Chain A
């Protein structure tokens, strides 16, 4: 079973570490989607568990790759080519200043809002693509902050006609043959 753990809030680490390990131990694939890697640096995941940030997945979207090429890679190449010998330190400083004052601001203030407006479902597509064509079979919502992302992902997948995975608050609750609304 391919299981996506939404753990963007990093608030229930023990549960995520243990449940992802259980998935892998049972022969499944566990992908833990987090907000920041450093929030999880103290945790030890079972071998085979994949830790990935939302930003890393979003960066795989073509417009994001183009943006990075234009805003960052090209200037770095130019700086690398021009900044040799005695001008190297100056070029390095100039590049650093450019990335901080120009590229960073353009990325945050212009590109990101534009990207989310033009391609609102890009994150959902990238998350799904990470699992291959079938997408995740189960999505575990692992903390409060992740509930919004869960709704966004499900809406996007459904809007595109893609099969939505089963959803749970814990892998342990997927033991009933027919998970139904708890009424």
Chain B
């Protein structure tokens, strides 16, 4: 039985979609959308880093001015799932170290709160630094604090001694800590071996509610979503597409995302005479990206490295087959359904691996060798809103969940060992996959169409 005020929660995050960066933090928004309906109240504190070139005196003056403004300027407005959103800027000097950033977020969140703690018994932060730290230091003494780490640039974070020190303290102070993907878990385990048994995993939710109007009948319209950076293999994708287009001129390719390679790629496309077949529209909001998935036939994801591969799950959720590299996360995410979902190819520094992979996939698809419905159903069990929300509730409100789900045996998440998932889906599929790490780095999801977390901290002053 639900008890009054027993299911209040707060989320602290540096990433949440805004007009300036509509693609950033859509996985946080998805998590809020999935979990808020089961809470009495859920307030999202979006500590948005507003970076500017400022000397020390200006930094101090600007922060003081912002502190004066906050009480009347940061408003609480409705957001997804019935949650409320408080968006406010954390004024940040360009080039600020990660440790200093964390303290900055702590201080400015406190300014927002008027010196009082966050009024919720459960606080869930996204990324350890800065938001995990800010949440821990602003939570009530009796609050249960959780952190989900998404950053794929942790090694760089830990080069800052202060950041390393704060992170150690953070790991010791939180109730639960979750990492996305093996790489993040490995870096954390290596850096903080004494906390290794505290690091669990939890997937970010993906909506499986909007199937495409018509099923894919031919793999003609290719789609790529992600950063226009070398790490994503976009150069090879264009060359591979050119090879396939030479065989079948009806093929088209849409490459959504931003990055330093967008212009050179546009020029290369023109040089290849493919300007009519290849479009590079830049970055777009997450919802639009999901819409594009339902309009295209094939998701091609030739990344050199991914912690998880949220885009791939979103693609399959949208009913598309995928042509994806075995670059870390995807092969684990698709374990057991590789052939049903599409074609996995090795990471090779050539175009042929992609074009050959496409030909194999096309032939298998034509012969009915895929089972997208099965792939979709399987991933929905692991990453669907309901599954992920349940996992959060078990962690956030263990007493209430115990009462409500006395017969639910999948509530051992908080006690799971390192590498175990905190979000067992029906049948514990997520735990079994070994890849149920949460939704990719900030740069791996559809949401990241214009970013690449591997190339820089999304809230780093140095980020592109």
Q: Once bound together, how far apart are the Cα atoms of A145 and B48, in whole Å?
A: 15
| Inter-chain contact A141/B18, CB cutoff 8 Å | no
With contacts A172-B77, A175-B77 known, is A147 near B62, CB below 8 A?
yes
| Inter-chain contact A151/B68, CB cutoff 8 Å | yes
Q: Once bound together, how far apart are the Cα atoms of A93 and B72, in whole Å?
A: 53
Per the CB 8 Å criterion, the residue count for chain B at the interface is 35
Q: Write the nearest CB–CB distance from A140 to chain B, whole angstroms.
A: 9
Interface residue? B272 (CB, 8 A): no
Q: Which of B65, B87, B114 contacts A181 (CB 8 A)?
A: B114
- Contacts of B63-100 to chain A: CB distance below 8 A: 65-66, 68-78, 86-89, 91-92
Q: Which stretch (B50-58, B292-300, B382-390) binds chain A?
A: B50-58
Of all chain B residues, the one with the shortest Cβ separation from A172 is B19
Q: Which residues of B contact A141 (CB under 8 A)?
A: 69, 73, 89
Interface residue? A150 (CB, 8 A): yes
With contacts A169-B89, A182-B112 known, is A12 near B69, CB below 8 A?
no
Q: Which residues of B contact A39 (CB under 8 A)?
A: none
Q: Which of A9, A14, A18, A167 contacts B73 (CB 8 A)?
A: A167
With contacts A179-B75, A183-B116 known, is A12 near B65, CB below 8 A?
no
| Inter-chain contact B113/A176, CB cutoff 8 Å | no
Q: Write the nearest CB–CB distance from A28 to chain B, whole angstroms.
A: 16
| Inter-chain contact B51/A182, CB cutoff 8 Å | no
Give the A-binding residues of B (Cβ under 8 A).
18-21, 48, 50-52, 54, 61-62, 65-66, 68-78, 86-89, 91-92, 112-114, 116, 119
List, sorted by A's number, 7 A–B pairs whose CB atoms are closer than 8 Å: A144-B62, A147-B69, A151-B69, A173-B87, A181-B114, A182-B86, A183-B114
Give the B-binding residues of A (Cβ under 8 A).
9, 11-12, 14-15, 18-19, 141, 143-145, 147-148, 150-151, 166-170, 172-176, 179-183
List 17 extra interface pairs beyond A150-B65, A151-B69, CB under 8 A.
A11-B52, A14-B20, A15-B19, A15-B20, A143-B50, A144-B62, A144-B66, A144-B89, A145-B52, A148-B62, A151-B65, A167-B73, A170-B87, A174-B75, A176-B78, A181-B71, A181-B74
